Amino acid sequence: MEGITSEALILAASAIGAGLAMIAGIGAGIGQGYAAGKGAESVGRQPEAQGDIVRTMLLGAAVAETTGIYGLIIALVLLFVNPLLGML
């Protein structure tokens, strides 16, 4: 580790952290797929309640998507803004 500077180490750790932050998108995708499947199943059982079911399903999908968006923002901050480099 003699040839590794502290800046290179911070940049490498930031890249790994950004990759880990993007794993949050997996949960959002699974959650939205599950909600859409259950929404379609519910509409099949009670077609007269379609408006309420779709409204609730879209609200749940929006909440699930925020997790993925937060992960993306953290990854972009770590890659391009990188506040840890200012601490050197």
In a domain, 44, yes or no: yes
Q: How many helices (H) and strands (E) does the chain have?
A: 3, 0
Q: Which CATH number goes with the domain that contains 68?
A: 1.20.20.10
pLDDT one-digit tens code per residue, 52-79: 999 999 898 888 888 889 999 999 999 9
The pTM of the full predicted model, rounded to 2 decimals, is: 0.75
In a domain, 43, yes or no: yes
Judge whether residue 4 has pLDDT over 70.
yes
What is d(CA 57, CA 75) in angstroms, rounded to the nearest whole number? 28
Return the pLDDT at 60: 86
Phi and psi, residue 45, nearest 5°: -80, -40
Judge whether residue 86 has pLDDT over 90.
no
Number of domains in the chain: 1
pLDDT one-digit tens code per residue, 6-54: 889 989 999 999 999 999 889 888 888 998 899 999 999 999 999 999 9
Q: Which of 84, 83, 75, 80 lies closest to 21 in space, CA to CA? A: 75
In a domain, 87, yes or no: no
In a domain, 1, yes or no: no
